[in-house]
Structure 1
Amino acid sequence: MKYLGLLDAEALGRAMPMIRSRAAARLNARNDPAPAGIRSTIPASAVSLKHEEVAHIGFFTTRAYELHHPLLGGGQSPLVRREVFMATDAAIVLPYDPQRDRVLMVEQFRMGPFGRDDPLPWMLEPVAGRVDPGETPAEAARRECREEAGLTLNRLERIGGHYASPGCSTEYFHCFIGICDLEDGAAGLSGGLDGENEDIRCHLLSFDAAIALLETGEADNGPLIVSLLWLARERARLRASA
């Protein structure tokens, strides 16, 4: 009902896959909250929502909120006005071959760096993609590896989950290392799926070369940095069990 009067039938049909994915992400958040061993256990139900509206709807959606929230020291905040970028859950997976001790990264043009006026808006990243409704994050990770890199994973090692930018976005990343065979032929161009306007190059890097990207700063996005740091911590175990 939030979109009533905002979209005609044709536009609503185009938007429906993302609407469903955002709804699935909200269910994931409600059903699988992170632990609260240190942070406050004040529930979301304690927030007094005064007004909510769809500020923008396209492929992505922005919502505007007016609310009061409980203060950590007691009492209520003044009226807070915020806009939130409504995104979906995504599966992030860095393919790793423990026998050859190398990883696969994908390179593609990214609108975020382009919109920030970054002179080099092509990024090195793990394989990533939206978690579709009815799909688990692990299933999405395996599917995206097939679609983007032509890889079949032997198993998944879960890194964890995290919000991409909790101050302004609902986007949530489910992160994995994908154990697989990375033969020399895995590198090169991959078109991704027809109809998704994907232009992807796959890169094979030794573990040492991949870690060096942290030192040079060429690893400049959160998913890649998190994945490489986790792999550095767990690499010996993964290689010993290969």
Structure 2
Amino acid sequence: MLCVTRGKKGLFMIKKNIFLKINSKDNVAIVLYPIKKGTKINIDDRELVVQEDIPKGYKIALTSIDKGEEVIKYGYGIGIASQLIKRGTCVHIHNLKTGLKGKIEYRYKPDLKEIKSPNDMLYFRGYERDNGQVGIRNEIWVINTVGCVNKAAEKIVLSAKQKYENEIENSEIDGIFNFPHPFGCSQLGEDLLNTQKVLAGLVKHPNAAGVLIVGLGCENNLISEFKKVIGDYNNSRVKFINLSGRR
């Protein structure tokens, strides 16, 4: 969906995906960005002019909806128009009411359709790891325990990329990357544990064929403590280095 709106000094700007229409039956769409009155959009091959400012996350009427008519979203009625809702206006609690009033029971009857697979077994090209997980990339990752060694990790990666340039060029390795962050130094308690869990998730990620963990030696997230959060690991895949020599 394209949107045309007037910016500074009368210039026009084009944006995509300003609205989200979930189902072809819907008579409303979700506004993905705050939108101004007078903005023109193209939806379902028809031009729609927004009639009022509409905040992000609210609904906009794609057609005029008469009082008492169903408002349809996800392909199902989500309520009843409590007044005439003009095309291009905001749909919310001021003009939308529940459709369950006076009903004794309610049953959800989805129109489910079976999706048949073209084959009994589906495949993709991946990399099976020794723990049974499968990655879609075959990369080498350098993960630092503390933000103080971000630059050192970056230099390790740059050096490795030069050394293994042919392997990367021939797609034997999909790439070598580091993950800079500002954490791990003076963190305590749950704050430190959350950092360790995120970093441990990277260590165990199947997209990494090999991982080098770089520590400094004086941080709270010491390699010896970080190993406890990592748990079991393949020591031929995961290696450690402390730049200060401390553990």
If the TM-score is normalised by the length of the shorter chain, which range does it land in?
under 0.3
Larger RCO, structures 1/2 (Cα 8 Å, 6+ apart): 1
Taking structure 1 as the reference length, what is the TM-score of the superposition? 0.20
Q: Which is richer in helix?
A: 1
Q: Give the TM-score, by structure 2 length.
A: 0.20
Structure with larger Rg: 2
Higher strand share: 1
